[in-house]
Structure formats: C-alpha cells, structure tokens
C-alpha cells in the first residue's frame, strides 16, 4: 500500500488533457451542444419543476393524489407493466425466430417489427380502434365471447402492446446474434437436454437484455398518448390514462394541476432512465460486449 502511495506521489503529474488533443473544435462543438441542449431540453423541462414547486405542498399533494388521478396511475402503470410483460414473452419469441430460423418472408417481418417506431401514434390509434370495435375484424370475433376490448381498459393494453413491440425484439436480437455457439455445444455434449440448455445456459445470458427491453417498453408505454386515446374510451376512473389527465386539465385552463401531474410523470421518467442505464451497463458486462 505504501509502495503504491509513493508511486502515485512521485510519478509526474499527468499532462493537462488539452495538450493531447490533436483534433480541433472541442470547445466549439461542446459549447454549441450544451447551449442547444439547454435551450431545447433542459430549461423547458426545468419549467415543470419550478412551476410545480411554486405550489404549496399541501395543494400539490391534493392534486397528485386526487382519486381520479390515482385511478389513472393505476391504469397507466398496470397496463404498461402488463403490456411490457406480454412484449417480453412474444418479443423474445419473435427475436428468437428472426435469429435462429429461416422462414419465407423473414426479411419483411424483420423490417416491419419497427412499424410502431415509424407509424404515427394517431394512425395506430384509429387503426386499433377500428380493428377492436364491436364491428371490427377482431372485435366482431371477440364480441360473441363477451369480450369487449375497444373503449375498455383492455383497449389501453392492446395499444400499449402495439407500441412496445420493437423494444424487446431490438434489444434481444443483437445479443442472440452474438451469443457463442460453443456454450450450447458444450452443454449439449455434457448431456443437457435442449430445455435445460435454454433454462440454465441461454436464459441467464439473455436475462439482462430481456430486462432492458422490458424496461424500455414499460417506460415508453407509461408516457404514451396518441395510440391509446382513440381505443381507450377515456372514461374517468375506468379507462383514463395519466397523460390524458394532463390534457384534460389543460383544456380546463388548470395549468397548475396539469404541471403537478406532469411533474410526477417526469420524476418517473428520470427514474426509468436511470434504471435503463444500469440495466444496459449490466447487459453489456454480462454478454462481454464492451461499449
């Protein structure tokens, strides 16, 4: 320990980093980046907290804990968790099929997986509403079973599953592609059944990627607005999502109420961003894919 301390003390102070920069433009590009980031993102976002913070605490609490708002949290977070779980299961199967099997139309399937990224949410919303309404292609099949999807909380779930599809597929797919075949070969040669190989070898390796995909889909679903409102029916206390609460408050010129609820959503967004960053770091470590 002393030797190490002496070494650090006696080693020459490292050169200032600026001396080793060969490329020009560091100050300029970093400065412009910070200015633009502040103007477009950071200052506007801080407005939410400053505005919400100017409310007395009691009033703030009353707004964000009103029964109608709490019901919207339950629906938004519940449906988002469920949608992310559904996406994890089926997205995994889709990613597995795309990496491990050949089938006709594979390239088309691979390209269309990103449809929810490219299709405007309002278009997705009215299309899903048309499909699942009682006279739509899917709705008319479910109606005889007594299942109503459109204009119920189930409709919210369907919309959130739609917008979450690419997240799990696109996080798991590259990890599956780069998985070492030798691991499975070794397990198989040691007598493991295919199911055992999957559960004991593959799943632990893929778990961080699956969880990252889940978290990404969940975070996106919680904030989603466009695709949900057309199919949800938007009945207060039943099928009203939190982003819609903000819109409703704005339409009633209740800016403080809208800002308070937006603050809750923003805090959640920051927390999810942190979780996702940690998961991605874990995933990169587990699969040995240095960043």
Partner 1 sequence: MSAGVLHGRALARRFEANPATREPIWMKRLILMIALTFFVLFLVLPLVAVFSEALRKGWLVYLAALVEPDALASIRLTVLVAVIAVPLNLVFGVIAAWAIAKFDFRGKRLLTTLIDLPFSVSPVVAGLIFLLLFGAQGWFGTWLFEHDIKIVFAVPGIVLATVFVTFPFVARELIPLMEAQGRDEEEAATVLGASGFQTFRRVTLPSIQWGLLYGVILCNARAMGEFGAVSVVSGHIRGATNTMPLHVEILYNEYNFAAAFAVASLLAMLALVTLALKTFIEWRAGRVVTVDD
Residues 116-155 that bind partner 1 (CB under 8 A): 116-124, 126-128, 130-131, 136-138
Are the CB atoms for 241 and 75 separated by under 8 Å?
yes
Q: How far is CA 232 from CA 45, 69, 261, in A?
A: 28, 16, 20
Binding footprint of partner 1, residue count (CB under 8 A): 96
Interatomic CA distance for residues 200 and 208, integer angstroms: 14
Q: Which residue has the tokens 């060969």?
A: 22
Q: Is 99 in the site for partner 1 (CB under 8 A)?
A: yes
Are the CB atoms for 214 and 168 separated by under 8 Å?
yes
State which of residues 6, 45, 70, 235 lies at the interface with partner 1 (CB under 8 A). 45
What 8-state DSSP symbol labels residue 288? T
Q: Which of 74, 125, 69 is nearest to 244 (CA)?
A: 69
**Whole-number minimum distance, CB 222 to partner 1, in Å?**
7
Burial of 230 (0-12, 13-18, 19+ CB in 10 A): buried
Q: Is 203 in the site for partner 1 (CB under 8 A)?
A: no
What token pair was written down for 6? 């002496």
**Whole-number minimum distance, CB 169 to partner 1, in Å?**
10
**Whole-number minimum distance, CB 3 to partner 1, in Å?**
29
Interatomic CA distance for residues 245 and 92, integer angstroms: 33
Q: Is 201 in the site for partner 1 (CB under 8 A)?
A: no
**Whole-number minimum distance, CB 120 to partner 1, in Å?**
3
CA atoms lying within 13 Å on the CB side of residue 213: 29
Q: Which range, of 53-61, 110-118, 146-154, 206-214, touches partner 1 by CB under 8 A? A: 110-118
State which of residues 6, 21, 141, 236 lies at the interface with partner 1 (CB under 8 A). 21
For residues 6 and 31, which CB has a smaller minimum distance to partner 1 in the complex?
Answer: 31
State which of residues 6, 200, 235, 255 lies at the interface with partner 1 (CB under 8 A). 255
Q: Which of 60, 235, 205 is nearest to 197 (CA)?
A: 205
**Whole-number minimum distance, CB 114 to partner 1, in Å?**
6
Contacts to partner 1 from residues 57-86, by CB under 8 A = none
Q: Which range, of 5-13, 53-61, 98-106, 232-240, touches partner 1 by CB under 8 A? A: 98-106
**Whole-number minimum distance, CB 223 to partner 1, in Å?**
3
State which of residues 156, 243, 257, 279 lies at the interface with partner 1 (CB under 8 A). 243
């Amino acid at each position: 320990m002393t030797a190490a301390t002496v070494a650090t003390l006696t080693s020459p102070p490292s050169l200032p980093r600026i001396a080793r920069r060969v490329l020009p433009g560091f100050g300029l590009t970093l400065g412009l980046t910070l200015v633009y980031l502040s103007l477009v993102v950071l200052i506007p976002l801080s407005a939410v907290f400053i505005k919400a913070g100017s409310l007395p605490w009691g009033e703030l609490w009353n707004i964000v804990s009103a029964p109608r708002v709490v019901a919207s949290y339950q629906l938004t977070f519940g449906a988002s968790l469920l949608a992310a779980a559904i996406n994890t299961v089926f997205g995994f199967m889709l990613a597995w099929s795309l990496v491990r099997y050949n089938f006709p139309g594979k390239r088309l399937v691979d390209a269309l997986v990103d449809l929810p990224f490219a299709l405007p949410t309002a278009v997705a919303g009215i299309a899903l509403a048309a499909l699942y309404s009682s006279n739509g292609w899917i709705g008319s099949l479910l109606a005889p079973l007594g299942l109503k999807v459109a204009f119920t909380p189930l409709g919210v779930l369907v919309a959130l599953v739609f917008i979450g599809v690419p997240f799990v597929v696109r996080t798991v797919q590259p990890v599956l592609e780069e998985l070492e075949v030798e691991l499975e070969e070794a397990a198989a040669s040691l007598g493991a059944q295919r199911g055992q190989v999957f559960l004991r070898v593959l799943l632990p390796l893929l778990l961080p990627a699956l969880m990252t995909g889940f978290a990404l889909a969940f975070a996106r679903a919680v904030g989603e607005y466009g695709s949900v409102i057309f199919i949800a029916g938007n009945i207060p206390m039943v099928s009203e999502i939190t982003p819609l609460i903000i819109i409703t408050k704005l339409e009633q010129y209740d800016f403080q109420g809208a800002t308070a609820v937006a603050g809750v959503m923003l805090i959640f967004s920051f927390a999810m961003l942190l979780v996702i960053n940690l998961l991605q770091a874990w995933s990169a470590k587990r699969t040995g894919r240095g960043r």
